[in-house]
Structures are given as C-alpha cells and as structure tokens.
C-alpha cells in the first residue's frame, strides 16, 4: 500500500482556541476515508491544512511526500467545498473546460477533459446544459466531476451530500464508491451513519482530538459476527427474544429501536435467520447492517 497522507502530532491553534490537538494519522491509497465529527470538531481546519490554506502551529503534514500547498501537488490533490457553485450563465462543459485550462490544459485537451469527467459522473448528455437546468443532485455530480479534472490522486469532498434528499444522497455515495479506482476520496461529514457503508477508514474528530476506526470486517474468518438491527418501532422483549435464538451470544440495545447482536457463525447466514424471525414476530425493520454501525464502533464498542 502506498501512503498518500501522513500527519504527525498536528496542532492548530487560533489564538487561545485549540482547533486541532496533537493529531496523527496516515491515509493509504484506496477506499474512501471518512472524516467525521460534530460541529466545531476541527474538520474544516484539517481540510484547510491539507490544502495548504493555513499552516499548522506544530507538527508535520506530508502529502505524497510534499508539504501541503507546494507546487508539486498542483493537480494531484483537489478539494471541493460544501458550497461549490457553477455560474448559471454558461454550460457546465464550458465551465469544466475552463477549470481544465486553469490547470494548464490546452483548449482542446480541456474540452476532452470536461467530457471525460462528465462521463465519469454519468452526465455526458447534460454537457450543454446550464447549472440552473439541472437538479440539485445532478449539480452535485457535476461538482464531483469538477474535482476529478486533471486526474488528482486525492479528492477531498466537504459534506458532499449536505442538503440532498436521501435518494440523491445515496446516488452520490454510490458514485463516490464507483469512482474509488480513479482517486482516493476523503469525505467529511458530521453524520456518522451517512458514510457507514462507503468508507473503510474513519477519522473521528471531536474537540480537535482524533480517534481512528478501521471498519470491522466480519469476513475475516473469525467465528463471531455482529449484526446491527434497527426496528421501525419499539416492540416488547426484543433483546430477550433475540437472545434466545440459536447461536446468539449477546444482544444489547445501542439506541432506541436499534439492537447489536453478537452471534456465532454457522452454515445458515444469521442475517437471513434474523430477518425471518422479525417476519414471524411481526417486527418491521428499517435497516440491518452486517457488523457494527460506525456510530456503535466509535461510541459504544466498549459495551459489547
Ligand atoms: N479562523 C479561525 N479563528 C478562530 N477560531 C477558529 C477559526 N477557524 C476555526 N476556529 C475554531 O476552531 C474550532 C474547529 O473549527 P472547524 O471549522 O475546523 O470545525 P468543523 O468540524 O469544520 O465544524 P463544522 O462542522 O461546524 O463546519 C471551532 O471551535 C472554531 O470556532
């Protein structure tokens, strides 16, 4: 694996405010990485440091072996702010080509690049349309296309699905997942569950401090598995009833209507058994995740 980003004891202070406190992490090439944390946790500060917009108070940061903001990184790292917008007066292909030219491409190359990135985000047919003619979700796809101009190795997306309805948000996550062979994505969000299935590596910031969470992989040959079941309603005796199922070693309620089940793996997949059991009991379920939800990994792992 190759290391894209290495942060060591990174600290950023704004006056007396400690926005990042002795943060160290490594990001490898590959699957998307989540940067999550509540408002004021330090996510934007970390993005700004990675882009080279601001300098750390202490510590070191290396991106592809270079200092953030150095000219060697031009075109290798791109960042998309949450409120990225297109000019309503010009077609999207025109504007994307313009961004290509800003990156040093010739007029012809930049037009080909605009079409390439629009194809990547599934919008080649909308090339001649203006941003105002597109839906919110389509506009978001175009901005992701913009971030891919010049084939950067690292793409940072700030709150990529903010303001989108659940269907468009899912489409964007799907798109990022599909594009993961093109670039390594770092996605920031204050919502842990949003990046649940997408990211294999979670950087969790809270009050400037970092904890890292490699996503648990239940297909690693271990005999114990976990399932997180979110029911639609509060039903009676759910914990006790699931606990009584064959192969279940532990059940606990992680939050209202959500249960984490630890079970011993057997020939019959336990998720199927559990879904059949929900059906028999008349329990309607909202979500079933194989493994812990990220939220449970981060906040409640010690209770399992
Ligand atoms: N330029 C600045 N001057 C002073 N304090 C700042 C500055 N930038 C950020 N901070 C403070 O640093 C802390 C981290 O802010 P940051 O914007 O990085 O958080 P965030 O995780 O991006 O939050 P949000 O999700 O609300 O955007 C906050 O307490 C914020 O008030």
| Residue-wise pLDDT tens digits, 50-69 | 999 999 999 999 999 999 98
Dihedral angle at the C-alpha atoms of 270, 272, 278, 279, nearest 10 degrees? -160
More confident residue, 298 or 109: 109
Instruction: Please check whether residue 189 is in contact with residue 218, taking contact to mean a CB–CB distance below 8 angstroms.
Output: no
Instruction: Please check whether residue 224 is in contact with residue 263, taking contact to mean a CB–CB distance below 8 angstroms.
Output: yes
Q: Is the pLDDT of residue 219 over 80?
A: no
pLDDT band at 146 (very low <50, low <70, confident <90, very high): very high
Strands 209-214 and 3-14: unpaired
**Minimum CA distance residue for ligand 1 atom 24:** 39
Provide residues with CB under 6 Å of ligand 1.
14, 17, 19, 37, 39-45, 190
Query: Looking at ligand 1, which atom is closest to the CA of residue 48?
Result: 18
Tell me, in angstroms, the distance from the centre of ligand 1 to residue 151's CA.
30
User: What φ, ψ does residue 36 adopt, rounded to 5°?
Assistant: -120, 155
Q: Residues of CATH 3.30.70.100 domain(s) within the chain?
A: 224-303
Per-residue tokens: 136: 């919110």
For residues 79 and 101, give the distance between their C-alpha atoms in angstroms, rounded to a whole number.
Answer: 17
**Minimum CA distance residue for ligand 1 atom 1:** 14
Locate the DSSP E strands across 159-257: 184-189, 201-206, 209-214, 224-231, 248-255
The tens digit of pLDDT for each residue in 16-29 reads 999 999 999 999 99
Q: Is the pLDDT of residue 301 over 60?
A: no
Q: Which CATH number fits domain 224-303: 3.30.1330.20, 2.130.10.30, 3.30.70.100, 3.40.30.10?
A: 3.30.70.100
**Minimum CA distance residue for ligand 1 atom 25:** 39
Determine the residue of 36, 41, 206 to mutate for testing ligand 1's pocket, defined as the one with the most ligand atoms within 8 A of the Cβ atom: 41
For residues 108 and 129, give the distance between their C-alpha atoms in angstroms, rounded to a whole number.
Answer: 20
SS3 label, residue 136: helix
- Evaluate whether ipTM surpasses 0.90: yes
pLDDT band at 115 (very low <50, low <70, confident <90, very high): very high
Per-residue tokens: 87: 């000019």
Per-residue tokens: 27: 């990001």
**Minimum CA distance residue for ligand 1 atom 7:** 14
Determine the residue of 19, 160, 163, 192 to mutate for testing ligand 1's pocket, defined as the one with the most ligand atoms within 8 A of the Cβ atom: 19
Per-residue tokens: 102: 């800003």
Q: What angle do CA 284, 300, 254 make, to 5 degrees?
A: 20
Q: Residues of CATH 3.40.50.300 domain(s) within the chain?
A: 3-214
Burial 257-285 (b: 16+ CB within 10 A, else e): bbbbbbbeeeeeebbebbbebbeeeebeb
Question: Per the confidence metrics, is the pTM higher than 0.80?
Answer: no
- Residue 109 belongs to what H/E stretch? helix 107-120
Tell me, in angstroms, the distance from the centre of ligand 1 to residue 272's CA.
44
Instruction: Count the neighbouring beta carbons within 10 Å of the beta carbon of residue 148.
Output: 21
**Minimum CA distance residue for ligand 1 atom 29:** 40
Q: Is the pLDDT of residue 302 over 50?
A: no
Residue 123 zone, left/alpha/beta (φ > 0; ψ -120 to 50; rest): alpha
In this structure, whether the domain defined by 3-214 belongs to CATH 3.40.50.300 is answered with: yes
List, in order, residues 6 or more apart from 163 with CB less than 8 Å away: 136
Query: Looking at ligand 1, which atom is closest to the CA of residue 20?
Result: 14
């Amino acid at each position: 694996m190759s290391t894209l980003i290495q942060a060591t004891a990174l600290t950023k202070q704004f006056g007396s405010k400690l926005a990042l406190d002795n943060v160290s992490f490594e990001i490898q090439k590959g699957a998307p990485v989540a940067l999550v944390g509540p408002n004021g946790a330090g996510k934007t500060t970390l993005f700004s440091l990675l882009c080279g917009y601001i300098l750390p108070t202490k510590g070191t940061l290396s991106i592809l072996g270079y200092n953030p903001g150095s000219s060697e990184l031009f075109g290798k790292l791109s960042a998309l702010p949450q409120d990225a917008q297109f000019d309503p007066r010009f077609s999207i292909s025109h504007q994307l080509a313009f961004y290509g030219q800003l990156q040093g491409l010739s007029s012809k190359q930049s037009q080909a690049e605009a079409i390439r990135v629009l194809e990547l985000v599934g919008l080649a047919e909308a090339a001649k349309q203006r941003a105002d003619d597109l839906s919110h979700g389509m506009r978001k796809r175009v901005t992701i296309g913009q971030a891919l101009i010049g084939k950067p190795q690292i793409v940072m997306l700030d709150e990529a699905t903010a303001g989108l309805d659940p269907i468009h948000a899912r489409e964007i996550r799907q798109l990022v997942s599909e594009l993961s062979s093109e670039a390594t994505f770092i996605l920031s969000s204050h919502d842990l569950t949003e990046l649940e299935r997408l990211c294999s590596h979670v950087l969790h910031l809270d009050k400037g401090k970092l904890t890292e969470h490699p996503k648990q992989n239940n297909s690693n040959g271990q005999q114990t598995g976990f399932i997180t079941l979110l029911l639609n309603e509060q039903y009676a005796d759910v914990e006790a009833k699931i606990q009584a199922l064959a192969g279940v070693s532990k059940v606990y309620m992680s939050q209202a209507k959500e249960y984490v089940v630890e079970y011993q793996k057997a020939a019959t997949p336990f998720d199927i058994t559990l879904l059949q059991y929900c059906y028999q009991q008349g329990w309607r379920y909202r979500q079933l995740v194989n493994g812990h939800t990220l939220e449970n990994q981060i906040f409640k792992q010690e209770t399992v």
